[in-house]
Amino acid sequence: TASKKKKSVKVKKVQDEGDEEEPVPMTVTRTPMDPVEAVEMNLAKEIKQGEKDDDHDNTNNTYNGVWYGPLAKVPDILDFDVTGGRPGAIIESEADLERKEKMMQEMEDGTRKHPKWLEDYGFLAEYEDAPYDNDDPEAIDAATLGKYDITDLNTKFDYEWDPETDPDPNLLENQIYDDVGRKNMYIKETPKDEEGIEIGYDPQYGPSNPIDERTKVGLRDSYVIDEATRDDEMVTPEFYPGDPEIGYNEEVIRYRKSLDIIETYQDEFLPEDMPVPRHVAKWYGYPEMMRYPQKNYTNNRYTKLEDLTNFDEMTPFRARQRAVELARANNAEWMPDGYSQAWHQEQRRPYEEYGTVVGTLRKGECDPELVEQIQPALKILGSCADLLSIENDGTVFRFHYHGLIKNRYGMSCWTETLIRDCGVEVTGVIFETGFRARDPAYDGGFPYYGWE
C-alpha cells in the first residue's frame, strides 16, 4: 500500500461586507484517496454499470483477477470522438483544473496580463461593439453550407475510380451525355490526306493530330448563355420582350448548332496548319499502378508449358545444377534439346579425326633428358600441372593444368619462365584442361562440360 501524503491548499476566508481586513490564509488538510481504494471503487462502479448495460462486457478485460478497465466501444461512423474511442472524457489532473479556472477568472475580471507583443495584433474586445453588416450580399451563410461529417471523406475526385468495380469513364460509350444531360457527338473519322493516310501520322512516333476520335462535333455555348445552365436574372437580355427578332435569332442558333462543326483554336506552340479542338471527351486517367500484376512464376515467352523444367521435383543441388546449365548462352532452355551437345561434339570432331594431341589430354612423347633437366620447374608446379608431352623439337611443353581457369594464362607464362631458368629453350607452354572451361568451385559447384 502506498504511503499517504497530506496536501496543503491555501484558500481565502470569506469576509463580511464592509470588512476591510486582509484575507487570512487558511490551511485545509486534504487526505487523498489511496490508489488501491480508488481502483476498487472505480471497479465497483464499472461493474454496476456493466450489469445495466448488456452490450458492455467487463469480463473480457480481466486477466489473472486484475481488471484493466472497461473495453472501448467501436464509435459510430458518423460520431466524431475526440478521445479516439477511449471511454470517458479526457483526464485532467487537479492542478490543470485549478490552473484553467484561475486563467478563466483572470480573463473575466481583466486582471490577466498579456505580453507586449500581443498589442500589435489587437484584441477581440475592440471588435465586440462593431456593427455587424447583415445585408452584405457576398457574405457566406454557414447554414447553407451543410454539415461536414465523415461521409465527406468518401467523396472521390474524377481520377479516383476503381477499375475492378467502376466502369471505365475514359471510354466514349460511357460519355454519351455530359454533366447537364446533353448528348455528345464525336467525330466519326479522323482527317485523312489525299492518299488516305491520317494527317500527322508518323510511322515511328504514331499519330500526332490533335483532332482525333475523342473530338466533339458541334458548337457549345458558354455556361453563361447556354439554355441548360444560364440564369436570366444575371444575363443582360439581347432583345426586348416581344421583339420579332427573337424567333429569327433562335432559328439561326438552332441551325448553327445542327452543323457538324469542330470548334478549334490555334496553339502558339504548334504549326498553323494544326488546329486544336476546343471540346474533347474528358480524360479521367487511370489509377497509378502501385505494383505489377501478379503472374505465375512459369510465365516465359520462350518455353512451352509441356517443355518447362520442373524445379519443384528436383533436389536443391540438382535444381541449382540445372539452373547453371540453362544459364549458359549456348545451352538456353528455349533451344532444342541436344543443340548444345552437338555444338561441343562438332568442336571436338577434328581432334578425333586427325588424332591430334593439342587440345586434348592425350599423353605424347617426352625426351627423358629434357624431363630430367626441367625437374626444378616441375617440383615447383607440384600437383598443379602434369607434363603431358614435349613437342616441336623439345621447345613446346604441354601440361595438364589442374588449377583455376582464371589463373591459367598467368601460370603458363610463369611456367615458361621457370623452364627457361632451367637452361632449356622454350617457344611455348600449353596448359590443357580438356573439357573443363570453368572453375567448378566458383561456378555452381559442378563441372558441366556440355555432355549428358
Residue/partner pairs of 128-133 with CB below 8 Å, 24 or more apart: none
What pLDDT, on a 0 to 100 scale, did the predictor assign at position 374? 94
Give the DSSP H or E segment for 63.
strand 62-63
What length is written for the chain?
452
- The series of mean pLDDT values per 10 residues for the chain, 452 residues long, is 42 43 44 51 56 46 58 51 46 80 86 77 59 64 68 71 87 85 87 90 90 89 79 79 85 83 91 91 87 76 76 90 73 63 83 83 90 94 92 92 90 94 93 80 54 38
Q: What is the largest CA-CA distance in the chain?
A: 140
On average, the pLDDT of the chain sits at 75
Neighbours of 178 (CB within 10 A): 15
**Helix, strand, coil share (%) of the chain residues, nearest 5:** 30, 10, 60
Task: Quote the pTM value.
Answer: 0.37
Q: In the prediction, which pLDDT does 326 show? A: 76
DSSP 341-369: HHHHHHHHHHHHHHT--TTS-------HH
Query: Half-sphere exposure of 131 toward its Cβ, with a 13 Å CA cutoff?
Result: 4
Helix (H) or strand (E) holding 28, with range, is: strand 26-30
Specify the pLDDT at position 83: 45
| Distances 178 to 169, 171, 281, 403 between C-alpha atoms, Å | 12, 13, 9, 79
Cell of 419: 623452364
- Strand residues in 306-412 grouped as ranges (E): 385-391, 396-401
Ramachandran area for residue 75 (φ above 0: left; ψ -120 to 50: alpha; else beta): beta
CA-based R_g, the chain, Å: 48
Strand duo 396-401 + 428-432: pairing: parallel
Q: How far apart are CA 257 and CA 237, in angstroms?
A: 21
Whether 303 and 333 have beta carbons less than 8 Å apart is answered as yes
- Interatomic CA distance for residues 332 and 238, integer angstroms: 80
How much is the pLDDT for 417?
95
Residues 195-212, buried b or exposed e (16+ Cβ, 10 A)? Answer: eeebebeeeeeeeebbbb
Query: Does residue 116 sit in helix, strand or coil?
Result: helix
Dihedral of alpha carbons 175, 179, 183, 184, sign? negative
Query: Which residue matches cell numbers 523444367?
Result: 309
The residues, ordered by sequence, that sit 6+ positions from 449 with a Cβ below 8 Å of its Cβ are: 344, 435, 436, 437
Backbone phi and psi for residue 26, each to the nearest 5 degrees, phi listed first: -115, 145
Query: Cell numbers of 413, please?
Result: 607464362
194-243 pLDDT, tens per residue?
888 998 899 889 999 999 999 999 888 887 878 778 787 777 777 888 88
SS3 183: strand
- Match 494544326 to its residue by C-alpha cell: 274
* Half-sphere exposure (Cβ direction) of 169: Cα atoms closer than 13 Å: 17
Query: Each residue of 412-450: b (16+ CB within 10 Å) or e?
Result: beebbebbeeeebebeebbbbeeeeebeeeeebeeebeb
